[in-house]
């Protein structure tokens, strides 16, 4: 144990028996694992982790020989009582996920809730989280923000949330896998308008860290030419008052009619007006068809 670890342990007498420690681990750069986290991971009785092989590599690098127990979505029902039993018996337990903060789009929420219900203490050893890391360097408003994580895959639920996001005035943070990024960007473009501010934070804390923006449209263009690779977090600007419809239905139809007269196909006319007003392209297109154009 080096001197900083000794100082940390003597400061707080960690770990204490019967306590669950929720420990943040790096999202790419091992240097982001805090000395307090290292010290704790070496000292607790057990570590619960999503993937024992994945976390095993990190634990080996820091010289932690603590026994690990797998804890993931599909073994939660069996594992929960076992982990609570360990705490009851006076053992200390650390919970880590594959990367970042457990409980944020990762297993943890149910364990923390169950442990608290049993009257045990839960202490978080804070660490990196892709959501807040992407937010603070996006240049988008940080005073008020909301987190959506991964959108549901079921069509109806997904559309409902996309609609809510399009009306949300706070900055919204989303997670997405690289192979589904373009689809999500296109959906966001359809619901929010392609002019809406957006930054896609790629490979945070890693050598090829990159931000792609400044709008949904610009990100679509970039990723159509450059295949999305690596982890990405999306930071979407909130709806602003200027984006709210300023025109009446009659005026909207007149504007689209004028565009069509100038040679735009109907869908293109709806798209242009959607970008100008922040309204949904599909709603404008339907409006055109209601008046039989």
Tell me, residue by residue from 10 to 39, as one string, x for binding to ligand SAM by CB under 6 A and - for no binding. Answer: -----------------xx-----------
Tell me the DSSP string of 76-101.
Answer: HHHHHHHHHHHHHTT--EEEE-SSB-
Q: Is 55 in the site for ligand SAM (CB under 6 A)?
A: no
Residue with the CB atom nearest ligand SAM in the bound state: 100
Using the rule CB under 6 A, which residue among 20, 48, 58, 99 binds ligand SAM? 99
Q: How far is CA 69 from the centre of its chain?
A: 26
The CB-of-10 to ligand SAM minimum distance in angstroms stands at 29
Tell me, residue by residue from 233 to 252, as one string, x for binding to ligand SAM by CB under 6 A and - for no binding. Answer: x-------------------
Q: Is 212 in the site for ligand SAM (CB under 6 A)?
A: no
Q: How far is CA 178 from the centre of its chain?
A: 13
What SS3 class is residue 38?
helix
Q: Is 213 in the site for ligand SAM (CB under 6 A)?
A: no
Tell me the C-alpha distance between 117 and 109, whole Å.
Answer: 12
Tell me the DSSP string of 150-213.
Answer: SPPSSHHHHHHHHHHHHH--SEEEEEE-GGGHHHHHHHHHHHH-TTSBEEEEESTTSTT-EEE-
The CB-of-54 to ligand SAM minimum distance in angstroms stands at 12
Tell me the C-alpha distance between 222 and 194, whole Å.
Answer: 13
CA-based nearest residue to 84, from 49, 123, 110: 110
Using the rule CB under 6 A, which residue among 59, 111, 198, 204 binds ligand SAM? 204
171-200 binders of ligand SAM (CB under 6 A)? 175-177
The CB-of-3 to ligand SAM minimum distance in angstroms stands at 30
CA-based nearest residue to 12, from 41, 44, 36: 36
- Could you give phi then psi for residue 123, rounded to 5 degrees? -125, 130
Tell me the C-alpha distance between 278 and 199, whole Å.
Answer: 18
Using the rule CB under 6 A, which residue among 34, 92, 97, 172 binds ligand SAM? 97
| Residue placing its CB nearer to ligand SAM in the complex, 72 or 264 | 72
Using the rule CB under 6 A, which residue among 87, 131, 220, 273 binds ligand SAM? 131
The CB-of-200 to ligand SAM minimum distance in angstroms stands at 9
Q: Is 49 in the site for ligand SAM (CB under 6 A)?
A: no
Which residues lie near ligand SAM (CB under 6 A)?
A: 27-28, 97, 99-101, 104-106, 129-131, 175-177, 201, 203-206, 231-233
């Amino acid at each position: 144990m080096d001197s900083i670890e000794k100082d940390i342990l003597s400061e707080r007498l960690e770990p204490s028996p019967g306590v669950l420690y929720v420990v943040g681990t790096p999202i790419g750069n091992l240097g982001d694992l805090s000395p307090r986290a290292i010290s704790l991971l070496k000292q607790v009785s057990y570590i619960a982790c999503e993937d024992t092989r994945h976390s095993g590599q990190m634990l080996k690098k820091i010289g932690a020989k603590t026994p690990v127990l797998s804890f993931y979505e599909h073994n939660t029902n069996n594992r929960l009582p076992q982990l609570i039993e360990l705490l009851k018996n006076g053992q200390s337990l650390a919970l880590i996920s594959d990367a970042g903060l457990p409980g944020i789009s990762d297993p943890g929420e149910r364990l923390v809730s169950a442990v608290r219900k049993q009257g045990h203490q839960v202490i978080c050893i804070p660490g990196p989280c892709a959501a807040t890391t992407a937010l603070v360097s996006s240049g988008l408003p940080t005073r008020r923000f909301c987190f959506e994580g991964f959108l549901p895959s079921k069509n109806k639920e997904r559309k409902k949330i996309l609609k809510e996001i399009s009306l949300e005035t706070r900055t919204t943070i989303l997670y997405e896998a690289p192979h589904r990024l373009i689809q999500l960007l296109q959906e966001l473009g359809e619901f929010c308008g392609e002019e809406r501010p957006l930054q896609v934070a790629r490979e945070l804390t890693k050598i090829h860290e990159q931000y792609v923006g400044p709008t949904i449209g610009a990100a679509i263009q970039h990723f159509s030419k450059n295949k999305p690779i690596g982890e990405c977090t999306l930071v979407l600007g909130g709806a602003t008052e200027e984006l709210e419809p300023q025109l009446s239905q009659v005026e909207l139809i007149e504007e689209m009619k004028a565009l069509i007269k100038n040679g735009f196909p109907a869908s293109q006319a709806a798209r242009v007006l959607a970008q100008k007003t922040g309204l949904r392209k599909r709603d404008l297109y339907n409006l055109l068809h209601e008046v039989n154009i």
